[in-house]
Amino acid sequence: MKTSLIKNYGFTLIEAIVVMLIVGIIGAVVAARMVISNPDLAAQGEVTKTHLRYAQSRSINSDIVWGIHCDGTSYWLFKDGNKNNKVLLPGEDSNTVDLSAKDLTMDGFDISFNSWGTPHLDEGALEANKLAAVLTITILSGEESEQITVTPNTGFIP
């Protein structure tokens, strides 16, 4: 007696439709997240992160305290633990970054870094003012905002 076994390989039409539906939903979610209504806000967030990392790097590579001071509408790099000792940031034309020209505002803050790159909430990197909790800096543009976080001890900025 001879039996024939039928082997069906492949997908059914319903399985293919379900997979396409799932891929479509994931694609719609990703596309919705990629729409940036204010590119200046996102760009300034990345630039500010870079400037903070630059200040930390300068502190690590020298015995000088470097930091960033922000008054809400502008910010600048300073050295020697003196926020009035402004230094030109890379990629900038002026020693002060003017946020108001882009209709942006930012939380006011002073952050400085010691020679180990540890963040402090003052201009002189005093041990008493060492950053103890995550610092969140918010950049605002109307109703939209971008947040920057600085991690205590390491100064990591994701």
pTM, two decimals, is 0.75
pLDDT tens digit string along 86-110? 999 988 889 999 998 888 999 899 9
Domain-located, residue 28? no
Residue 142 confidence (pLDDT)? 84
Domain-located, residue 156? no
pLDDT band at 113 (very low <50, low <70, confident <90, very high): very high
Do the Cβ atoms of 158 and 149 come closer than 8 Å? yes
Q: For residue 54, count CB atoms less than 10 angstroms from its CB and return exposed for 0-12, middle for 13-18, buried for 19 or more.
A: middle
pLDDT at 124 over 90: no
Do the Cβ atoms of 110 and 69 come closer than 8 Å? yes
Structural domain boundaries enclosing 137: 39-150
How many independent structural domains does the chain possess?
Answer: 1
CATH number at residue 123: 3.55.40
